[in-house]
Amino acid sequence: MTASVLTLALLSATALAVQAASIGVNFSENDGNQSWLTSTTPVGPTAIQSGFFNTTNNPTGAAGLPVRTGSLAAGSLLGLVDSTGAVTSTSVAWSSPNAWYNASGTGSDEARLSVGYLDDGGAGASITFSSIPFALYDVYILLGSDAGDTHTSEIPRVNGANVLAADFPAFGNLIGSGGGWIEADGTNRGNYVVARGISGASVNISGQNSTSNRIGISGIVINQVPEPSAALLGLGALVGLIVRRRR
């Protein structure tokens, strides 16, 4: 096997290995003006097509997405669609004191993802996903607030554990971030945080809600961490055999 053929084979196998799916849920504040404008616009930090991004703004089952039961502030969705358009067995249930909105507006699907959020009054928001089909995944928590274009956010929690060490600089909307999704890491200001390397068929996301700062949750993405493909593992064994033969 020549070096060029080996390189091509490695690249092909790597491409197979990194294919992964996501499950996204948008928390809306208004059934009237926050439905998706298109079905093909990539939205959110993992660029899921809007038509495959589940939304609580869907009491009638429009566009093939699951029908909401309950209210925008507290309800559930069954049979969530993943980023490939496949219907899964995953469900989500959420509770919060109310749903509210920030200054992102509704002029684009990205804005409609950002503008509505689960508010943080009282006991705060709690969101539970069940029957997650991924062995390992990252949880993207999209943040929104009417506390201003920029503010200090409280810490979100995943399965009761704080995602970051302390309250952190955040954008309250897409105006503050210049229209994009930027990860907040505790130092750099952002409008989403990530809990990485989560396992288990269910996961709970909640607001810390224990300081004077605010935290609203505008969406969640459960992003599969891909496992090495059989092709990549087999190619690795082949490369090892070639190396041994050349010694």
pLDDT > 80? residue 126: yes
Amino acid at 228: P
Q: Examine the domain organization and report whether 155 and 101 are in the same domain.
A: yes
Q: Examine the domain organization and report whether 25 and 129 are in the same domain.
A: yes
pLDDT > 80? residue 19: no
Q: Examine the domain organization and report whether 155 and 247 are in the same domain.
A: no
**Distance separating alpha carbons of residues 180 and 158, to the nearest angstrom:** 24
**179 dihedral zone (left: phi>0; alpha: psi -120 to 50; beta):** left
Its pTM stands at: 0.86
Query: At 136, is the pLDDT very low, low, confident or very high (cuts 50, 70, 90)?
Result: very high
Q: Examine the domain organization and report whether 113 and 63 are in the same domain.
A: yes
Compute the average pLDDT of residues 46-56: 96
Q: Examine the domain organization and report whether 52 and 11 are in the same domain.
A: no
Residue 46 near residue 221, CB atoms below 8 Å? yes
More confident residue, 220 or 61: 220
Query: At 231, is the pLDDT very low, low, confident or very high (cuts 50, 70, 90)?
Result: very low
More confident residue, 242 or 24: 24
**Distance separating alpha carbons of residues 25 and 80, to the nearest angstrom:** 8
3-state DSSP assignment of residue 78: coil
Q: Examine the domain organization and report whether 6 and 102 are in the same domain.
A: no
Q: Examine the domain organization and report whether 181 and 241 are in the same domain.
A: no
Q: Examine the domain organization and report whether 236 and 212 are in the same domain.
A: no
The number of distinct structural domains making up the chain is 2
Average pLDDT, the chain: 88
How confident is the model over 82-118, as pLDDT tens digits?
A: 999 999 999 999 999 999 999 999 999 999 999 999 9
Domain residues for 159? 20-225
Residue matched to tokens 């790597």: 14
